[in-house]
């Protein structure tokens, strides 16, 4: 899995692309980074809408599980004044996340740590909330991850999910953002995943199938990729994902159209007495 997300000299590539775009690395705004750090389905606007629905509050201690290069961590800190810890398995992503957070002046609110979600390096009851955004399709042992989420959440804490799940259709088109081939993808039907979460002790607060919005968004990405060829060194998904990125728009648009995947937003809560 680390190989799928590996990109040689990733930090330098991002620096070079930002400078070519005329950005001052000492005074970056979040919008400057969006082409490379807001790669979740729906982009930054979709994430902010979910964060509002989930009720993130100022000074909440939030774990961004599988944070990548830190885009959502920085959004939570900037827009919601949360105190965020970003965790990722990739040391390259963590290196980039730290640098970009310093460049945006958010280092007092956001910190990053390398580690695995199935063995979280945190004490019990450490966080008010956990954000789980487009990561569970990379995790084979989802029960272990969810058990760890439950452990590190404070009583009454919330688990916020923005996840791609397996649809009713057959035959996923690869490559996709989370996997270059089927052996790297661990999609499960939402019903099965929800069962795992509730068996760990979580209580469902809300679930929303956002597949239609996701389908429209990926159609726009597809059309944009067909009309605007991205240079390999320009700021965008290609810096992180390499040559596979050019296929994401057409493949994900097809996957949503054929109902082989679905997009779910959900909020689960840990009991106040747990």
pLDDT digits (tens, 9 = 90+) for 95-147: 999 999 999 999 999 999 999 999 999 999 999 999 999 999 999 999 999 99
How deeply is 31 buried, as exposed, middle or buried, from its count of CB atoms within 10 A (0-12, 13-18, 19+)? exposed
Give CATH for domain 10-269: 3.40.50.150
- Both tokens assigned to 154: 């404070």
Q: How far apart are CA 127 and CA 196, in angstroms?
A: 21
For residue 72, which of 91, 54, 45, 99 has the smallest C-alpha distance?
45
Q: How far apart are CA 54 and CA 35, in angstroms?
A: 25
pLDDT digits (tens, 9 = 90+) for 221-270: 999 888 766 665 688 888 988 888 889 999 999 999 999 999 999 999 99
pLDDT digits (tens, 9 = 90+) for 54-109: 999 999 999 999 999 999 999 999 999 999 999 999 999 999 999 999 999 999 99
- Domain residue limits, the chain: 10-269
For residue 193, which of 271, 249, 265, 117 has the smallest C-alpha distance?
265
Phi/psi region, residue 70 (left: phi>0; alpha: psi -120 to 50; beta: rest), is: left
């Amino acid at each position: 899995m680390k190989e799928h997300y590996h990109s040689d000299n990733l930090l330098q590539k991002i620096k070079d692309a930002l400078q070519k775009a005329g950005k001052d690395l000492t005074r970056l705004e979040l919008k400057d980074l969006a082409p490379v750090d807001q790669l979740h389905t729906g982009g930054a606007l979709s994430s902010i809408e979910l964060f509002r629905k989930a009720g993130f509050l100022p000074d909440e201690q939030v774990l961004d599980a599988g944070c990548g290069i830190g885009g959502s961590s920085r959004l939570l800190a900037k827009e919601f004044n949360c105190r965020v810890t970003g965790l990722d398995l990739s040391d390259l992503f963590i290196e980039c996340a730290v640098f970009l957070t310093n460049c945006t002046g958010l280092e007092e609110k956001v910190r990053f740590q390398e580690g695995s979600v199935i063995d979280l390096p945190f004490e019990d009851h450490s966080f008010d909330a956990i954000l789980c955004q487009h990561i569970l399709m990379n995790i084979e042992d989802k029960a272990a991850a969810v058990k760890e989420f439950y452990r590190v959440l404070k009583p009454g804490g919330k688990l916020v999910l923005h996840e791609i799940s397996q649809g009713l259709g057959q035959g996923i088109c690869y490559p996709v953002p989370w996997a270059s081939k089927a052996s790297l993808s661990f999609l499960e039907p939402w019903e099965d995943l929800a069962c795992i979460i509730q068996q760990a002790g979580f209580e469902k607060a809300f679930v929303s199938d956002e597949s239609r919005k996701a389908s429209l968004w990926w159609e726009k990405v597809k059309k944009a990729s067909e009309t605007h060829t991205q240079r390999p060194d320009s700021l965008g998904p290609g810096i992180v994902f390499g040559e596979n990125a050019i296929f994401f728009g057409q493949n994900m648009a097809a996957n949503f159209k054929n109902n082989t995947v679905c997009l779910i937003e959900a909020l689960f809560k840990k009991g106040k007495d747990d």
